[in-house]
């Protein structure tokens, strides 16, 4: 009798743990539309090898099709601060505004999650200095991130790279918060 009781108890505990783990990603990541904001630091490349602060607005949709798997689509607006540099031996500045469309895929571990993102960034660069002008383009953007959330509010820490040869690559490290409806 004690052996049967032990195996039934283990079976019940395993079933309860499986259900709890399966429900935790839905609570943590949230399914549906989300909006958010963040701030961080931009690192320039090439002629504008400098650092500046940036801010970011985000909106997207999180699909909740499978437990432990995060899938989503996201639009973001990013505004960098001024990056100082040198073009043709003269000092110059670079400020970039970017609209990004990306797909996200990741893994959920209860309230924690890891994800990767990739898409395209449409950017406008305001370059100031003697003999240089503004630029614009559309280039790939990709990144990785980690999230921690519960009940619709999620904190995120992410790294992204705008792969723009014309102005030099831009690396962005952002800490932000999103709210899922």
Domain ranges of the chain: 2-180
8 A C-beta contact, residue 181 and residue 34:
yes
105: Cβ–Cβ under 8 A, 6 or more apart, which residues? 69, 70, 71, 72, 115, 116, 117
State mean pLDDT over 68-95. Answer: 92
SS3 47: helix
* 102 vs 168: which has the higher pLDDT: 102
41, 63, 74, 121 from 141: Cα distances, Å: 16, 21, 12, 6
CA proximity to 51, closest of 171, 178, 181, 179: 171
Angle 14-114-70 from CA coordinates, rounded to 5°: 70
- pLDDT (tens digit, 9 = 90+) per residue, 127-181? 998 878 899 999 999 999 999 998 779 999 999 999 998 889 999 999 999 999 8
* 93 vs 152: which has the higher pLDDT: 93
8 A C-beta contact, residue 165 and residue 175:
no
9, 18, 93, 175 from 14: Cα distances, Å: 8, 6, 59, 36
- Which run of H or of E encompasses 52? strand 51-63
CATH of 2-180, one of 1.10.3720.10, 1.10.10.10, 2.40.160.20, 3.90.850.10: 2.40.160.20
- pLDDT (tens digit, 9 = 90+) per residue, 111-141? 899 999 999 999 999 999 887 889 999 999 9
């Amino acid at each position: 009798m004690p052996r049967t009781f032990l195996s039934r108890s283990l079976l019940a505990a395993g079933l309860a743990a499986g259900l709890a783990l399966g429900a935790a990603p839905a609570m943590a990541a949230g399914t549906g539309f989300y909006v958010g904001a963040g701030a961080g630091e931009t690192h320039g490349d090439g002629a504008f090898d400098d650092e500046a602060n940036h801010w970011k607005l985000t909106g997207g949709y999180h699909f909740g099709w499978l437990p432990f798997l995060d899938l989503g689509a996201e639009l973001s607006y990013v505004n960098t601060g001024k990056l100082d540099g040198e073009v043709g031996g003269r000092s110059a500045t670079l400020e970039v505004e970017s609209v990004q469309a990306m797909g996200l895929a990741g893994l959920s571990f209860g309230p924690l999650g890891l994800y990767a993102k990739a898409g395209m960034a449409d950017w406008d660069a305001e370059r100031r200095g003697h003999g240089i002008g503004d630029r614009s383009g559309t280039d790939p953007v990709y990144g990785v991130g980690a999230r921690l959330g519960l009940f619709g509010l999620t904190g995120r820490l992410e790294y992204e790279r705008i792969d723009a040869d014309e102005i030099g690559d831009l690396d962005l490290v952002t800490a932000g918060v999103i709210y899922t409806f």
